Structure 1
């Protein structure tokens, strides 16, 4: 059995896909894990919600349960990266506290923040087609999701395929400029 001392220490890279529901984040993430040359873990926030038991939650407790789930998700991503794992995060920063929390737990120079954009008409069409999201969810998220305004890379999934977006992100990685969007955002919220 290999001893942990033989594993070289490093921090993993976090490719953080932020966009509304139905904007194409999961499709881009699926392409990224196929084309990137190092191993990456796709960590979608929806997977964390799916892990929760189906025990009914009282309406007055739902906000607390959801808040704790998102906080735990942020810390799980940070823990994976701290252990040297590369991660593709699929998230919706539809509340300012989520961004602030991510800024506080992730190493900002190790985060590539990707804005995943899509026009509202296309989001609504995708929601209708999916049928598993409340109508208008993406439109309600749109204002806050991109309110912080800073990204390292941006994609529009109405004009680029998920593969094209993933290739653009991959091409960006080798020469990432500093400060990163996360570094600039952390300085602005400091």
Structure 2
């Protein structure tokens, strides 16, 4: 009996999520582009900027805009989780500049399927890149620095002031076959669970 090609295969494996986290202008998109070029398996690059770009451009009052932005991030997380659940490998281009975003991802993603990558860049270099780009509010990246890496746990890290996008992508690719457990997401989930336990 032939299976329905429109139905999901219950035996299908989940996709891997390469989760790039760093401030604006830290180099995440350039690394993602290189990853798609050098990885052996098919991957989708899902940058959050693409989701913001799909939203209508009409002006909104600040209180309404805050709610819309929050819902955009929540929808983005669920879109990524859905792609991975469907067996697709995904490169996520993210800015964890608010604590709730990380907690939402920890709740949604299968933690052993996530490779959590810290994309670091020093303050001076971020400021220089922002000036060159000219398409970001001045000081945005520096304002994000305090929170973006506050959780302190990654599977792999790169410094884009010392390594170019290809070198960073190669580092991540070489890490993939040797992923230890617990993963960073597993450790972070455990830490949050411990924090909720009454003392």
Q: TM-score, normalised by structure 2?
A: 0.93
Q: Secondary structure at the match of 2:77?
A: helix
Gap regions ≥5 residues in structure 2: 194-199
2:115 counterpart of 1:112: yes
1:141 and 2:152 correspond: no
Show the counterpart of 1:3: 5
Root-mean-square deviation (Å): 1.4
Pairs within 5 Å for 1:7-156: 7=9, 9-156=12-159
Secondary structure at the aligned position of 2:119 is classed as strand
Compared with structure 1, are the counterparts of its residues 145 and 6 closer, same or farther at alpha carbon in structure 2 (3 Å cutoff)?
A: closer
Q: Distance in 2 between matches of 1:60 and 1:170?
A: 42
Cα deviation for residue 60 of structure 1 reads 1.6
Q: State how far apart, in whole Å, the 2-side matches of 1:175 and 1:123 are.
A: 31
Cα deviation for residue 87 of structure 1 reads 0.1
Deviations 1:70-106 (A, max 9, x none): 0000000000000000000000000000000000001
My pick for the range that moved more, 24-33 or 7-16, is 7-16
Q: Which residue of 2 aligns with 1:161?
A: 164
Greater than 6 Å deviation, 4+ residue runs: none
Q: CA deviation at 1:175?
A: 1.1
- How many positions carry a matched residue from both structures? 190
